[in-house]
């Protein structure tokens, strides 16, 4: 395990700020999709210098998320979850219990718990300090592809390959709400600031913004030529940025 710190970061800080300001200016001026966003990334990527390089995880990493205090990261690797300390570069905790590949893991807002989802059709809650499993939420319908803490960490939202979206009560483990989309395969589901759901289709490349009941499309955004892997709202609560297998970043409003 090695941890590399690049001391030239400060020298590039000013240049990076200029690049980011340019991106934000383009996003604010242009309406609709921005096909040249990926060209900007390719042109200026050489100026982005890694602060840290954590090596030694072994297998391919499916997800990585910072802890609320930004001191640690949680990663999903094969069928396990690990916590790494950024400053020391050391693995400090391992969570085992999933029987198949873990797609995603993230911290709760208070930093005391971790939620994960896996190809084994389960959502699991873990205690950060002890490394023990606190709860397993099971839905037999299909693979659970994504999971998030919502409502300040009191609930969990999970989405499944069969277009099902489930909200769970974290205390009781009961389903609070279950909605089903229009027969597409869901990869991610993110709540927008307005209370809508931002949905990524797995294969078509379309980004669908659905109402909170998953009954109708509020908007369909097109721009990817292949699978759309993820999409999120920018802080302005109006702009959506997505990435896909076509090696493009795409922005839309």
Determine which helix (DSSP H) or strand (DSSP E) holds 242, and give its type and residue range.
strand 240-244
Q: Where are the domains of the chain?
A: 56-180
Report the distance separating Cα 29 and Cα 13, nearest Å: 25
Question: What pLDDT does 23 receive?
Answer: 56
| % of the chain with per-residue pLDDT over 70 | 64
Comparing 105-119, 139-153, 163-177, 213-227, the range with the smallest average pLDDT is: 213-227
**Which of 3.30.420.40, 2.130.10.10, 3.90.1150.10, 2.60.40.1260 is the CATH number of 56-180?**
2.130.10.10
DSSP assignment letter at 86: T
136-153 tens-digit pLDDT? 998 776 778 889 898 888
When pLDDT is averaged across residues 10-29 and rounded to a whole number, the result is 55
The two tokens of residue 203 are 């294969």
Report the distance separating Cα 166 and Cα 171, nearest Å: 15
The two tokens of residue 195 are 């209370």
- Specify whether the CB–CB gap between 151 and 168 falls below 8 A: no
Q: Where are any strands of DSSP class E within 154-235?
A: 155-160, 164-169, 175-180, 186-191, 197-201, 207-210, 217-221, 228-233
């Amino acid at each position: 395990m090695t941890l590399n710190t690049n001391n030239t970061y400060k020298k590039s800080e000013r240049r990076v700020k200029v690049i980011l300001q340019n991106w934000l200016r383009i996003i604010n001026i242009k309406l609709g999709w921005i096909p040249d966003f990926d060209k900007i990334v390719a042109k200026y990527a050489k100026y982005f210098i890694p602060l840290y390089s954590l090596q030694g995880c072994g297998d391919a990493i499916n997800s990585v998320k910072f802890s609320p205090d930004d001191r640690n990261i949680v990663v999903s690797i094969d069928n396990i979850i690990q916590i790494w300390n950024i400053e020391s570069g050391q693995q400090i905790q391992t969570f085992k219990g999933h029987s198949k590949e873990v797609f995603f893991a993230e911290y709760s807002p208070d930093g005391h718990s971790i939620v994960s989802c896996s190809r084994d059709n389960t959502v699991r809650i873990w205690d950060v300090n002890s490394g023990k499993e606190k709860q397993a939420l099971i839905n037999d319908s299909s693979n659970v592809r994504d999971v998030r803490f919502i409502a300040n960490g009191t609930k969990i939202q999970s989405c499944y390959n069969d277009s099902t979206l489930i909200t769970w009560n974290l205390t009781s483990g009961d389903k609070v709400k279950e909605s089903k989309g229009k027969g597409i395969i869901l990869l991610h589901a993110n709540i927008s600031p307005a209370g809508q759901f931002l949905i990524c289709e797995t294969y078509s490349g379309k980004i669908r913004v659905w109402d909170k009941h998953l009954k109708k499309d509020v908007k369909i955004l097109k721009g990817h030529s292949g699978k759309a892997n993820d999409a999120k709202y920018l802080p302005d609560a109006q702009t959506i940025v997505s990435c896909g297998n076509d090696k493009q970043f795409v922005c839309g409003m």
